[in-house]
Copies of this chain bind each other. A is one copy, B any other.
Amino acid sequence: MAPGDSTVPISIQESLFLRGLSPAEVTAILNASMRRQFPARTTITHQGTRADDFYLLLEGRARYFFETPNGKKVLLMWMVPGEILGGMSVLDRPSRYLASTEAVKDCTVLWWNRSTIRDLMREFPRLLENALSIAVSYIDWFAETHAALISRSAPERLALVLSGLARLIGKQASGGLLLDITNEELAGAANITLYTASRILSRWQKKGFIRKTRGMLQLRSPERLFLDLG
């Protein structure tokens, strides 16, 4: 199969990972990959296992998470098409994945094994620069999240999560952005309990800022969330 053909979505051409490469170079890189599928709710990379595989997300939605020594599942960033998974595999020394990745919805990915992606990086040093930029974007995410955990209340964090996800996975619809997400996922992302999340969302719904149905949330006025942090 030739993954670099017309079936590759636009978002890939604009992927941060492929930034600054010529179309010919992009084709060469994509041609060295294999296309793979991961059904929703399956794990793509496993925290603690050898980082041997590198992926570029073509379609679907995934997220990073990890488990703490005391068994708590910690949710990290969401990944959308154009983003990479398993970035640890590009390091010069063999390493282990810091976190796991799971397909939240059915995912199509491009896959390279470690030595292939490392060879490509040697051939196209630009890829290495891009990997560094991506690593920095993770650091940025963690710094933001760290600050939020320390200095913001539960409603504030939930509002931040909601407006962040809206930009990432919101679909324009009549009467506001539509997010297909459960309360549990929201609570996990904001690091609050399911109960607290439900209470805050109910309040916002009463005020007409959002509408919530099972597994789906309609965001009417994102800005106003921040004016009602009780």
Contact = CB atoms under 8 A, between A and B. Distances in A.
Interface string A14-44: 0000001000000000000000000000000
Interface stretch (A2-10, A108-116, A134-142, A206-214): A134-142
Interface of A: 20, 66, 68, 70, 72, 74, 76, 88, 90-93, 95, 98-99, 125, 128-129, 131-133, 135-136, 138-140, 142-143, 145-147, 149-152, 191
A142 B137 CA distance: 13
B146 A92 contact: no
**Stoichiometry, copies per complex:** 2
A20 B91 CA distance: 14
A125 to B, nearest CB: 6
A143 B99 contact: yes
Given A98-B140, A142-B143, A143-B66, A91 B133 contact: yes
B74 A151 contact: yes
Given A91-B133, A133-B91, A142 B151 contact: no
Contacts of A70: 151-152
17 contacts: A72-B150, A72-B151, A91-B129, A91-B132, A91-B133, A91-B136, A98-B136, A98-B139, A99-B143, A125-B125, A128-B128, A128-B129, A135-B139, A139-B142, A142-B146, A146-B146, A146-B149
